[in-house]
Structure 1
Amino acid sequence: MGSSLQEERRQRLLVRTTEPEGLAEYTGDGSVDFRGYPILKHNTGNWRACSLILGTEVCERLAYYGISKSLVTYLSKRLHEGNVSAARNFTTWQGTCYLTPLIGATLADSYWGKYRTIAVFSAIYFLVVVAAIHKRKADLPVESSLLYELDGKTSAIEGSRKLEHSSEFSFLDKAAVILWDECDGSPNPWRLYTVTQVEELKILMRMFPIWATGIVFFTVCAQNSSMFIEQGMALDNQIGSFKIPPATLSSLDVISIVVWVPIYERFVVPVARRFTGNERGFSELQRIGVGLFVSTTAVAVAALVEIKRLQIASAEDLIHQKVPVPMSILWQAPQYLLVGVGEVFTSIGQAEFFYNQSPDAMRSLCSAFALVTVSLGSYLSSFILALVSYFTTRNGQLGWIPDNLNEGHLDRFFWLISGLSSLNLLVFIYYAQQYKCKRASVV
């Protein structure tokens, strides 16, 4: 049985390599089926594959959001945790959920996908530092063409195109300097690296500040399922004859995304294209920047809503009563909608940025690192909550976020997040202006 399968595989490979007319029947991108055979075009892709992917995503998202949107309420109402504890435990749980894609991406890239050498090359990039340190006393050539690179169009990294030399981080270029004892024979792969290998490390270093600014963005988004919900639990959720659970209001975030994506494509992009000259309307970095600004506005709006809620609580003499104030929960709608708009710009722009700008052979891994910002944003939210609780409850004070929000100052917490987000936006603008896109050769 095994020999017959091997023979079938051999015949398929033979067709691909010896009969040009048969080559068109296959995908031609290196894709194989679960047995390792080349895939016929008519047997793969299209809506049959999409339906399985969409079905899996629906089930996965249903499970995730089913838990996430009710977890704070469950922790506070059923397990009787305090507001700070419930919010901190939720964001820690969320951060862990978004950290696990790194494992899947590493397995996909290193063992199950096309780029089986990714894990090795990730480590070798830092070794595209040991070589530079070893040659720190070497002089850089005047012409970058004298740096080491393979001839032709083939890159030393499987699955990657060649990259043009850039002037940034010139110290790393020393790893591609050819010393006199490296002129003859085969180059030592631990001592001499190609320009492309050096440039791939430079790409990661240039991307890092942009990546880091996404952490604060997702700290804002984390409030969508934590402090926004706790704020909603202190508002009047009676709408006519219905009671709206505070967690369901977070669906406005999803509705906002669904509505804004077609609006963006149909109306925003054509208008923006006239001003920017960019075919997509905005560049990836511009989209991220717009989303960061909108998310900052969202949490500022939440602070204004909380100020109004506390004013009503004071006017109605409800400060020391742990009851919802007579203020409609629908006042929260703008902050949820703005978070959705921010995600349309930043999340999509971030996904495009990391995919397009990452080294060719590290696209899955870099996309996974984009998701790590969600994880770290949730952890940062937990950390900020812990700091706020510690510093505002000293000397017997109730703190900003007591169990009875009518006695607290949740608005100050939202202003803190808004200020941090504003500072993050300024940092992003600085590094976005300095960023230089990668220049890859055309294969």
Structure 2
Amino acid sequence: MDAMERGERAPLLPESYGPKTQEDSLQVPLLKHKKRSGSKAPAVILGFECLESTAFNGISTNLVVYLETVLHGSNLASASNVTTWFGTSYLTPMFGAVMADTFWGNYNTILISLAVYLLGMMLITFSAFLPAAAAATTALCAAGASCAGASSGISSVVSSQTVAFVGLYLVAIGSGGIRSSLLPFGAEQFDDEDNAERKASFFSWFYLCVDFGPIICGVFLVWIQQNVSWGLGFGIATACIALAFAAFVLATPLYKRRMPTGTPLKSLCQVLAAACRKASLKVPTDARLLHEASEKLDSSRPKIAHTSEFTFLDKAAIVVSEEGASSSWKLCTVTQVEELKILLRLLPVWVTSVVVSSAYSQMNTTFVQQGSAMDTTVLSVPVQAASLGSFEVLCVLTWVLLYDKAIVPALRGFSGEPSQLQRMGAGRLLMALTMAVAALVEMKRLDGASRGEQIGIAWQLPQYFFLAGGEVFCYIAQLEFFFGEAPDTMKSMCTSLALLTIALGSYMSSFIYAVVEAFTATGGRPGWISDDLNEGHLDYFFWTMAALCTLNFVVYSAVVKNYKLKTVLS
């Protein structure tokens, strides 16, 4: 499961400073004048997430196999198409967040996204029935029936591919809108006076609901798709999103809604504009001479302590005249300047996360291809290669318990509980270890294949276990770190940036596949990632990824060595 869905957006502002609440016009009379703290809306949203997670994973978990076996794509092309699509589905939340914050609000963004999502799911399901329909037509033609207007097998495959990919990218757009809005919309259902424990409980349950989909899909839907019917498997996933759509709309009278608050990018642009206007000025040595808003004028916004990095940006807070203070495009506060500095300090950490996401994306591509070339039975029970994604989710929960109950108590006696930066570093090391283990497993598989033997798919379990560890240490700590370091006005944007690393990691993975093909599939050689893995060298690819992850850890360690954490003054 992709852990990055587990983030949270900015907490709601106190009522006196936050955006106005939009009470829905379809108000249930008995609830109209009652407090909403006991509302059933959060439970509806949790159920919605279970269904949406099942729908999305019902497509993504086994997609690479569908593209290869039904749409007849090559191993390399199928892996590249999956990572590109998967990356797009984590790129669209950035646009969803902008639309929700600036124009539509969370409720309308979810509603519109659901319509697009459902259309995409229906097209994907339809694409699974096209090859069967073409085969039936061909059989009738062979039996002497009239073939007027019948499509050829090749055109049928092309038609199936077109319908499938249009559907996939509609799903990417729809799921992006939901990812950016569903969790904060759930938080909006709690009153400001609700205690923190209730909200924390909601976020914990939301985390578990995100994991619900991969488990159900890995155990049931993958088996149905490969042993009964692809159309039926995709149809069940489509039914889940249709049910989620209906439940969400029917529960409309229960919801509390917030008006859009606008984009935080304006403040960043103001700092850049003001600094450029005063490029010729010298920054005073005493930071107290820089402009900061008065507590009386803006007591709702926490003040951030001045730092000595990126001194050019400090020019935006230089007081030139009283006239300049009348425009935020000419004079900015120290807090505004520091907010931009925080984003600049986060940027190198964020870049190293892209490499981690590139390695993590192998779970849905090369890991599945590797497992498909093995003996897919465990204790005489058939296990589909894509089903091991469910095992990875269980390993994530295992790592969480292991960290809380064993690792942290053990470290407290020595160096204390690991910081978020240290946990992210450990996650990067575990990703390198995962790729190395996958390479060793592939070497053993190739050795067995050369003797006409197949090793069991259970050999993949260790690499999934270490991958889950990397996910827990890297992704979850990254969400906590980005959320904690981000300014209050930019919580949602930083959460979207964390999701964006998954998108860019998938695109990076597709680029690596292209480079590998260009340099290894030459002179009649099959290349490292061959259609027949027994003729290729997938182990070389995994060793390359292990080396890249190790280098990424070294760069990350250098970046965070002198990292300055945010200091809030008030």
Q: Bin the TM-score by the shorter chain.
A: 0.7 to 0.9
TM-score normalized by structure 2?
A: 0.66
For residues 41 and 257 of structure 1, the distance between their equivalents in structure 2, rounded to whole angstroms, comes to 43
Map Cα deviations across residues 241-297 of structure 1 (whole Å, 9 max, x no partner).
Answer: 3221111112111010122212222222222333333xxx22211111111111110
Superposed displacement of residue 118, structure 1? 4.7
For residues 362 and 466 of structure 2, the distance between their equivalents in structure 1, rounded to whole angstroms, comes to 12
Root mean square deviation of aligned Cα: 2.5
Say if 2:70 is the partner of 1:78: yes
Stretch deviating more after TM superposition (295-304 or 134-143) = 134-143
Counterpart residue number, 2:513: 385
What SS does the aligned partner of 2:61 have?
Answer: helix
Counterpart residue number, 1:100: 92
Equivalent residue in structure 2 for 1:148, among 279, 283, 291: 291
Map Cα deviations across residues 381-435 of structure 1 (whole Å, 9 max, x no partner).
Answer: 1110011111111222211111110010001111111111111111111111121
Map Cα deviations across residues 202-256 of structure 1 (whole Å, 9 max, x no partner).
Answer: 0100011111111111111100010000000111113343221111112111010
Residues 41, 301 of structure 1: CA spacing in aligned structure 2 closer, same or farther, 3 A cutoff?
Answer: farther
Stretch deviating more after TM superposition (27-36 or 369-378) = 27-36
Residues 399, 46 of structure 1: CA spacing in aligned structure 2 closer, same or farther, 3 A cutoff?
Answer: farther
Counterpart residue number, 2:402: 263
For residues 295 and 127 of structure 1, the distance between their equivalents in structure 2, rounded to whole angstroms, comes to 39
Residues 361, 400 of structure 1: CA spacing in aligned structure 2 closer, same or farther, 3 A cutoff?
Answer: same
Counterpart residue number, 1:304: 440
Q: Does the 8 Å contact 1:399/1:408 carry over to 2?
A: yes
Amino acid at match of 1:236: D
Counterpart residue number, 1:58: 50
For residues 403 and 519 of structure 2, the distance between their equivalents in structure 1, rounded to whole angstroms, comes to 42
Stretch deviating more after TM superposition (166-175 or 52-61) = 52-61
For residues 123 and 299 of structure 1, the distance between their equivalents in structure 2, rounded to whole angstroms, comes to 42
Map Cα deviations across residues 94-128 of structure 1 (whole Å, 9 max, x no partner).
Answer: 01111121123223333537795551x41441341
Say if 2:309 is the partner of 1:173: no
For residues 423 and 546 of structure 2, the distance between their equivalents in structure 1, rounded to whole angstroms, comes to 19
Residues 236, 103 of structure 1: CA spacing in aligned structure 2 closer, same or farther, 3 A cutoff?
Answer: same
For residues 326 and 433 of structure 2, the distance between their equivalents in structure 1, rounded to whole angstroms, comes to 55
Residues 165, 253 of structure 1: CA spacing in aligned structure 2 closer, same or farther, 3 A cutoff?
Answer: same
Equivalent residue in structure 2 for 1:287, among 423, 429, 442: 423
Residues 104, 332 of structure 1: CA spacing in aligned structure 2 closer, same or farther, 3 A cutoff?
Answer: same
For residues 324 and 478 of structure 2, the distance between their equivalents in structure 1, rounded to whole angstroms, comes to 44
Counterpart residue number, 2:122: none
After superposition, where does 1:395-414 map in structure 2 within 5 Å?
A: 395-414=523-542
Q: Does the 8 Å contact 2:21/2:259 carry over to 1?
A: no
After superposition, where does 1:8-47 map in structure 2 within 5 Å?
A: 30=18, 33-35=21-23, 43-45=35-37
Superposed displacement of residue 184, structure 1? 5.1
**Count of residue correspondences:** 400
Q: Does the 8 Å contact 1:109/1:364 carry over to 2?
A: no
Q: Does the 8 Å contact 1:164/1:441 carry over to 2?
A: yes
Residues 145, 371 of structure 1: CA spacing in aligned structure 2 closer, same or farther, 3 A cutoff?
Answer: same
Equivalent residue in structure 1 for 2:483, among 348, 355, 372: 355
The runs of 5 or more residues in structure 1 that have no matched partner are 1-25, 317-324
% identical aligned pairs: 42
Q: Does the 8 Å contact 2:19/2:261 carry over to 1?
A: no
For residues 155 and 200 of structure 1, the distance between their equivalents in structure 2, rounded to whole angstroms, comes to 16
Runs of 4+ in 1 over 4 A off after TM superposition: 26-33, 39-42, 113-118, 153-156
Residues 309, 185 of structure 1: CA spacing in aligned structure 2 closer, same or farther, 3 A cutoff?
Answer: closer
For residues 123 and 151 of structure 1, the distance between their equivalents in structure 2, rounded to whole angstroms, comes to 21
For residues 330 and 15 of structure 2, the distance between their equivalents in structure 1, rounded to whole angstroms, comes to 38
For residues 335 and 195 of structure 1, the distance between their equivalents in structure 2, rounded to whole angstroms, comes to 47
Q: Does the 8 Å contact 1:118/1:361 carry over to 2?
A: no
Q: Does the 8 Å contact 1:153/1:162 carry over to 2?
A: no
The runs of 5 or more residues in structure 2 that have no matched partner are 1-13, 26-30, 107-257
Residues 41, 262 of structure 1: CA spacing in aligned structure 2 closer, same or farther, 3 A cutoff?
Answer: farther
Residues 362, 41 of structure 1: CA spacing in aligned structure 2 closer, same or farther, 3 A cutoff?
Answer: farther
Residues 117, 205 of structure 1: CA spacing in aligned structure 2 closer, same or farther, 3 A cutoff?
Answer: farther
For residues 193 and 32 of structure 1, the distance between their equivalents in structure 2, rounded to whole angstroms, comes to 26
Stretch deviating more after TM superposition (220-229 or 28-37) = 28-37
Residues 28, 146 of structure 1: CA spacing in aligned structure 2 closer, same or farther, 3 A cutoff?
Answer: closer
Residues 110, 274 of structure 1: CA spacing in aligned structure 2 closer, same or farther, 3 A cutoff?
Answer: farther
Equivalent residue in structure 2 for 1:128, among 271, 277, 282: 271
Equivalent residue in structure 2 for 1:416, among 527, 544, 565: 544
TM-score normalized by structure 1?
A: 0.84
Residues 275, 48 of structure 1: CA spacing in aligned structure 2 closer, same or farther, 3 A cutoff?
Answer: farther
Counterpart residue number, 2:451: 315
For residues 440 and 305 of structure 1, the distance between their equivalents in structure 2, rounded to whole angstroms, comes to 49
For residues 424 and 360 of structure 2, the distance between their equivalents in structure 1, rounded to whole angstroms, comes to 14
Q: Does the 8 Å contact 2:84/2:506 carry over to 1?
A: yes
